[in-house]
Amino acid sequence: MAKTILSKEQMLQRLQEEMRRPPFHALLGPQAYDADPASGEVVVQLPYQEAFSLSPTAAFYHGGVLASLVDMAAHAAIAVQTGKTVPTIDLRIDYLRPAPGVTLLAHARPLRVGRSIGRAEVKIYADQVLVVLGQGVFSTQ
């Protein structure tokens, strides 16, 4: 089966739908930011909210919010390619440094999109500093 190459506009449209569809996303407010048809990479933006804070006195993201962003972005990278929802099988998160309370950019790139399994890697940046690395495995059946 030949892989369908999407245009940038088609990828962004699918990414926007992936950010809108799940009701959980309404709580966090992720936004489609960019997409690259050549690499399959999608970029998801997450504006900071006080509710995301690790502490009532310091503006740093809670790890659960960062893990959710890895899952959302990795899922989107695979779902944009397959055109359907892909359930998460496994998720790995490496917290490299505290993420300050700024808008985050999650760059998610599909590593493999097969008939039964898809894999994606995610890099989350805060003010152009890498704060989280993640990987997701998804069912594409």
Alpha-carbon distance of 35 to 13, in angstroms, equals 10
Spell out the residues 6+ positions from residue 94 whose beta carbon is closer than 8 angstroms to its own: 132, 133, 134
pLDDT in tens, 84-94: 999 999 999 99
CATH topology of domain 1-87: Thiol Ester Dehydrase; Chain A (3.10.129)
> Could you give the percent of the chain with pLDDT greater than 70?
97
Band of the pLDDT at 1, cuts 50, 70, 90? very low
Domain boundaries, the chain: 1-87
Give 35-52 pLDDT, tens digit per residue: 999 999 999 999 999 999
pTM: 0.94
Hunting for tokens 């972005």 — which residue is that?
73
pLDDT (mean) for 47-67: 95
CA proximity to 9, closest of 27, 31, 36: 36
At 14, is the pLDDT very low, low, confident or very high (cuts 50, 70, 90)?
A: very high
Please tell me the distance from the alpha carbon of residue 31 to that of residue 16, in angstroms, as a whole number. Answer: 7
Tens digit of each residue's pLDDT (9 = 90 or more) over 98-113: 999 999 999 999 999 9
pLDDT of res. 6: 87
Provide the pLDDT for residue 3: 58
Predicted local confidence at residue 2, as pLDDT? 47
Structure tokens at 141: 């059946």
- Separation of alpha carbons 74 and 136, rounded Å: 6
